[in-house]
Amino acid sequence: MRLSRRTFLKDIGLTAAAIGTVSIDGCKTPSGRAGNGKRKPNIIYILADDLGHGDLGCFGQRKIKTPNLDKMAAEGMKFTQHYAGSTVCAPSRCSLMTGKHTGHCTVRGNVDVLMKPDEITIAKTLKQAGYSTACIGKWGIGHPPPPDDPHNNGFDHFFGYLSMWHAHNFYPDFLWKDGKKAPLRNVVQHPEKHYKADQEELVGLASEKLDYSHDLFSQAALEFIEEQDGPFFLFVPYTIPHANNEAGQFGEHGMEVPDYGIYADKDWPEPEKGKAAMISRLDRDIGKICAKLKQLGIDEEDLRDLDIIIEETNRVRKIVWELLDFARQSPANKEDLDINEILQQLVSLIAKQKEFRSIRFIQNYDNGLQSFQADKNHIQQVFLNFLLNSAESITKEGTIDLSTHGANDHFSITITDTGCGIKSGELDRIFDPFYTTKPVGKGTGLGLSVSYGLVKQYGGEIQCESKEGEGTTFTVTFPYYYSGDNNSSP
């Protein structure tokens, strides 16, 4: 039975959620593989505090040097819509850990609220799947976080700042390690003005600066990676290049860094030198993490996993776009179209694809066809779906024959392939949403359904004839003029 657009829209949210879910199955084995024999990918998530995308070379920065991050961007993926959950620290981190937007998070501001004990977090989920988990850097989710807050939320190991306010000072006199204070050699002076009454030992500026917290985090991250013999999730929420907001009370700028490095002689304001040096230091240490992964041979395994992730991401993206095409009710942008020209362009596009080079395309067009009015994107989508369906049905060599024929008030397009054909019992279902005869992961079952809906929008008809083992013929007929509702549902 064919779905109506109304019924489909009721279910689209659930379906989209289902296809976007990543499942982690099996139990950890001594080899670090899942119980089903598949190796689980290691995950390292690095978060920089107050780093803007414009601060990196891969996004156009020219003055601050970030060669390692630029290399990562060139070899991997750039996510240009990966936004922070909020404009301030605690709710943004809560959103990241829970996957919730701030309307659903318990922590919605830099206030005295903590995550609920039964909250589901990334770390808890991965730990249940056999991952070793660590958070090294700034926790900063709510206030005042108890010493075991990261552990309560799924992390086996924690080293860093618990309080968001404490993290302002890059030379603190202590950090937290697995629920206990870890003293440092710095001597800290505390300002008279505090954000909260219980912050006296947290905020301040070091008068003796010996242990730079960022460097300690980088070293701890490298040590954690070296110690792992199974799948791991390493969350590294670095504090730089955030400013020490209390430094101004002592007459200093807040961009604390051991040295300005290559920016020392720049004719820049001191805070700008400090920020640039922080960012390049961050880049340097991320380069060290990448080098450690390469040294241990982890990077090659995870790059193979990344290829799979990218492939699956593209597959899910295709499904989502097809879901939207199927559900969308937007007015058509009509223009006069030459169907022969559109088909020629599509054939040229598909014939260049490596996997279809063994296919011979035969084109016979009626040059006497009139133009007709439709949305070009719609018509391209219709015949791209049909042509891809035909091309993918041909396993080795074969042909696809395209022809157009005109009559007084209508015209038709015929596409015949020598592919595997369609079983007789399946012909009545090929235009049903989500129905596909392709192997799992190879088809979404929406291409032909989308085409069916678009053809109907312009008063057209589709006929399909097929014989298993011999091939398939699709014939699409359009009226030259159609005044019906071009937003009708399939």
Q: What is the DSSP string of 236-258?
A: EE--TT---TTGGGGT--S---S
Strands 187-189 and 372-375, bridge-based pairing: unpaired
Task: Classify the C-alpha dihedral 422-427-431-437 as positive or negative.
Answer: negative
Question: What's residue 273's pLDDT?
Answer: 97
Name the residue among 91, 152, 172 with its Cα closest to residue 160: 172
Q: Name the one residue in this structure whose structure tokens are 């807050």.
A: 149
Name the residue among 99, 240, 246, 86 with its Cα closest to residue 161: 240
Name the residue among 79, 72, 63, 86 with its Cα closest to residue 140: 86
Strands 398-406 and 359-364, bridge-based pairing: parallel
3 state SS of 81: coil
Name the residue among 227, 188, 192 with its Cα closest to residue 210: 188
Per-residue pLDDT of the chain (490 residues; tens, 9 = 90+): 344 433 333 333 333 333 333 333 333 333 344 444 457 889 999 999 999 989 999 999 999 999 999 999 998 888 888 888 999 999 999 999 999 988 899 999 988 889 988 999 999 999 999 999 999 999 999 888 899 999 999 999 999 999 998 999 999 999 999 999 999 999 999 887 766 666 667 888 999 999 999 999 999 999 999 999 999 999 999 999 999 998 988 889 999 999 999 999 999 999 999 999 999 999 999 999 999 998 988 867 666 666 666 666 665 565 555 555 555 545 667 889 999 999 999 998 888 787 888 999 999 999 999 988 898 888 988 898 889 889 988 988 899 999 999 988 999 999 999 998 888 877 777 777 665 655 544 554 566 777 888 898 889 999 989 898 899 999 999 998 877 654 443 3
CA distance to 47, 103, 119, 124, per residue, from 84 (Å): 10, 14, 20, 21
Would you tell me the crossing angle of helices 376-392 and 339-351 to the nearest 10 degrees? Answer: 40
| Rounded-to-integer distance, Cα 202 and Cα 166, Å | 4
* Contact call for residues 234 and 45 (beta carbons, < 8 A): yes
Q: Which two tokens stand for residue 386?
A: 């049909």
Domains of the chain: residue spans and CATH: 25-296 (3.40.720.10), 333-479 (3.30.565.10)
Check residue 354 and report its DSSP letter.
Answer: G
Question: What's residue 202's pLDDT?
Answer: 83
Question: What's residue 4's pLDDT?
Answer: 40
| Rounded-to-integer distance, Cα 347 and Cα 364, Å | 12
Q: What is the DSSP string of 155-182?
A: -SEEEEESSTTGGG-SS-SEEEETTEEE
